[in-house]
């Protein structure tokens, strides 16, 4: 990725920070199964020191703070100032004291070797500039018996929460063919792809687990539309490229496409994620 593209991507996350913060409670609810799956796979427990890579508006860091308790701690990291600031504010609001913050990219972690018991990332691995380098860094900073675990989205077709919207919008906006392996939501959707990256980074006993769950919340289509078109940088860009006269047509077509996922005042999309974990040392 060129430095200009990297800067553009981080600027987009900076804008996203305000919307992820705005929908904090709803996002926490709909993506909670990802956090639980990640915590289970990384075997997070009381007293551990855990590194969160690409912590965004604070998950899984804030959940893990309550699991590791006062004898443990979480190091939240993200390269985007806006993300870090919203999480600091939220942690202070909740009175969380076992969290620390470092603004950094996963490519260069400013921590000594073996500083943590585990390193985790929820929905961040796919946006890493150089995933092998970043995962090598994650392995460097965990203990010899430490675990790294990342959760990423499974295939687009298994995730209508995303595809039902983009499939419609892409009929109206010309979309350039994606560059191979570009940082994007479904970069690691192919089973085995993130496994190979983690193995190339030097991890041992790498395993991949498929997580099927429901993205569920008591919200209307209107609230869903607002959430999706605000929280995603890609969708925000596409919406801007629509002609103003096209926007109501697109929204109407999306409403038709997702109608079956909204029943009796509840949104419920089937979803699929992959949790990929590995150890620093075999055995």
Ligand X SMILES: C[S@@+](CC[C@H](N)C(=O)[O-])C[C@H]1O[C@@H](n2cnc3c(N)ncnc32)[C@H](O)[C@@H]1O
* Among 74, 91, 128, 250, contact with ligand X (rule: CB under 6 A): 128
- Contact by Cβ (8 Å): 194, 276: yes
- Interface positions, 55-94, toward ligand X (CB under 6 A): 55-57, 59, 78-80, 83
* CA–CA separation, 107 and 139 (whole Å): 12
- Minimum CB separation from ligand X for residue 17, in Å? 7
- Minimum CB separation from ligand X for residue 116, in Å? 15
- 154 touching ligand X, by CB under 6 A: no
Residue number, 59 or 230, with CB nearest to ligand X:
59
- 280 touching ligand X, by CB under 6 A: no
- 106 touching ligand X, by CB under 6 A: yes
- 120 touching ligand X, by CB under 6 A: no
- 37 touching ligand X, by CB under 6 A: no
Strands 142-153 and 266-279: antiparallel
Strands 116-122 and 99-103: unpaired
| Part of the chain binding ligand X (CB under 6 A), chosen from 127-135, 165-173, 220-228, 247-255 | 127-135
Which class for 56: exposed (0-12), middle (13-18), buried (19 or more C-beta within 10 A)? buried
- Contact by Cβ (8 Å): 20, 88: no
- Contact by Cβ (8 Å): 166, 220: no
Distances (CA, A) of 248 to 50, 167, 179, 234, 262: 45, 16, 30, 19, 19
| Part of the chain binding ligand X (CB under 6 A), chosen from 116-124, 211-219, 222-230, 244-252 | 116-124
Q: Which among 212, 213, 217 is positioned nearest to 263, based on CA atoms?
A: 217
- Contact by Cβ (8 Å): 250, 242: yes
* CA–CA separation, 149 and 119 (whole Å): 6
* Among 75, 123, 168, 206, contact with ligand X (rule: CB under 6 A): 123
For the window 5-24, what string marks contact with ligand X as x by the rule CB under 6 A?
A: --------x-----------
- Minimum CB separation from ligand X for residue 123, in Å? 4
Whose CB is nearest to ligand X?
56
- The residue count for binding ligand X (CB under 6 A) is 20
Residues in contact with ligand X by CB under 6 A are 13, 53-57, 59, 78-80, 83, 105-107, 122-124, 127-129
């Amino acid at each position: 990725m060129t430095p200009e593209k990297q800067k553009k991507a981080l600027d987009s996350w900076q804008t996203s920070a305000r919307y992820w913060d705005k929908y904090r409670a709803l996002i926490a609810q709909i993506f909670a199964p990802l956090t639980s799956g990640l915590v289970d796979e990384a075997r997070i427990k009381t007293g551990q020191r855990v590194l969160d890579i690409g912590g965004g508006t604070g998950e899984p860091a804030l959940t893990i703070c309550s699991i590791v308790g006062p004898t443990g701690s979480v190091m939240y990291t993200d390269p985007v100032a806006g993300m870090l600031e919203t999480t600091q504010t939220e942690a202070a609001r909740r009175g969380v004291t076992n969290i620390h913050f470092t603004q950094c990219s996963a490519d260069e972690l400013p921590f000594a070797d073996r500083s943590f018991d585990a390193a985790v990332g929820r929905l961040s691995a796919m946006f890493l500039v150089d995933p092998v380098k970043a995962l090598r860094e994650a392995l460097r900073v965990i203990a010899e018996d430490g675990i790294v675990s990342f959760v990423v989205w499974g295939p687009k077709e298994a995730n209508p929460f995303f595809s039902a919207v983009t499939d419609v919008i892409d009929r109206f906006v010309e979309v350039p063919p994606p560059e191979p392996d570009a940082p994007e939501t479904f970069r690691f959707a192919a089973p085995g792809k993130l496994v190979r990256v983690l193995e190339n980074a030097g991890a041992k006993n790498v395993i991949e687990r498929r997580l099927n769950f429901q993205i569920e919340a008591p919200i209307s289509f209107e609230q869903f539309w607002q959430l999706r078109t605000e929280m995603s940088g890609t969708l925000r860009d596409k919406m801007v490229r629509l002609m103003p006269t096209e926007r109501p047509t697109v929204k109407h077509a999306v409403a038709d496409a997702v109608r079956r996922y909204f029943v009796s005042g509840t949104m419920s999309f089937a979803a699929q994620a992959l949790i990929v974990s590995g150890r620093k040392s075999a055995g």
